A and B are shown apart, each in its own frame.
With several copies, the nearest count.
Chain A
Amino acid sequence: MKIAIIVFPGSNCDVDLFEALHSVCGATAQYVSYQEKSLAGFDAVMIPGGFSYGDYLRCGAIARFSNIMPEVVRFAAAGKPVLGICNGFQILTEAGLLPGALKRNNGLKFICKTTALTVENNETPFTNQYQAKEKIYLPIAHADGSYYAQKDVLAQLEAKHQVVFRYADENPNGSLNDIAGIINETGNVLGMMPHPERAVEALLGNVDGLRVFTALLAGNGYQKEAIR
């Protein structure tokens, strides 16, 4: 499996994602510039965290107009896996690949800390190595991670099991329904505020994020559902 890591001006978790995939998981990963117009040859796309375009205007708002984004949209429409982490999640919502939006944290401050999460949906290509309702711990690091969607959208997300991760002990940012990560209806585009790539090595004190990557790399047959 060959994974594209999209690099926007201001992305800064690109290296972390690369190291998690390459050094830790032994996967083939490659940086792809926002200026590129093709994703040919890639089997999965990941959009890393950071401050694309300085988070000016709204997080992810300007990045979504890059050359590469129509290609990411096509890639997603073809049912191939797309993962957006933190700023990547924000970009996916701005691009309309995921519903809703991410607002300023209720506490108005940037927060970097480990949060408890429940895996709400373990039947996605990214989470099928977790147990249903498993409690895991992943770091967050964001100022704008408060998930918002209108009532009907929220109801639909819940009804269709599109909420993948939920904050468990404490809601750090005011997200509606304690949402930390959601997947699209077809089950191939995941956006999450917590950083699984920061939790893949025992040396750094946490390996709870590793299975997001190993699940995808193992490709446990869940894509068949994604491709309608």
Chain B
Amino acid sequence: MTVKARIFVTYKESVFDPQGQAITDAVQSLGHPEVEKINVGKFFDVQLDPATKSVAQTVSEISEQLLVNFNLETYRYELLEEQQ
């Protein structure tokens, strides 16, 4: 069986995100005063077989080992629906 988990990685609140800032500025200058702020993050869609290890465990292991730099970033994850 295969399930899909989506891991969201974002900068911690206290970390300045120059890209988010640049995109917010650009969007506003393109004529979107209705946009107040844009934050940028990345996500990882992990396709995995939960037979031997729980999804939660795989996700926390790979996030801690590789996907997330805890100096800067935090993460959350969710399971994706099959039809996705």
Contact = CB atoms under 8 A, between A and B. Distances in A.
Q: Tell me whether chain A's interface is mostly helix, strand or loop, or mixed.
A: loop
Given A101-B71, A148-B71, A148-B72, A56 B18 contact: yes
Given A104-B18, A148-B15, A174-B18, A56 B23 contact: yes
Interface in B56-73: 65-67, 69, 71-72
A119 to B, nearest CB: 26
B71 A104 contact: no
B19 interface: yes
B67 A57 contact: yes
Interface string A135-154: 00000000000101110000
**What are the 3 closest A-B residue pairs judged by CB atoms, nearest first?**
A101-B71, A56-B22, A56-B19
Interface of A: 53-54, 56-58, 61-62, 65, 93-94, 99-101, 103-108, 146, 148-150, 174
15 contacts: A54-B18, A54-B19, A56-B22, A56-B23, A57-B66, A61-B66, A65-B26, A94-B69, A105-B18, A106-B18, A108-B19, A148-B72, A150-B71, A174-B16, A174-B18
Given A56-B19, A146-B18, 8 more contacts: A54-B22, A56-B18, A57-B66, A94-B69, A101-B71, A106-B18, A108-B22, A150-B14
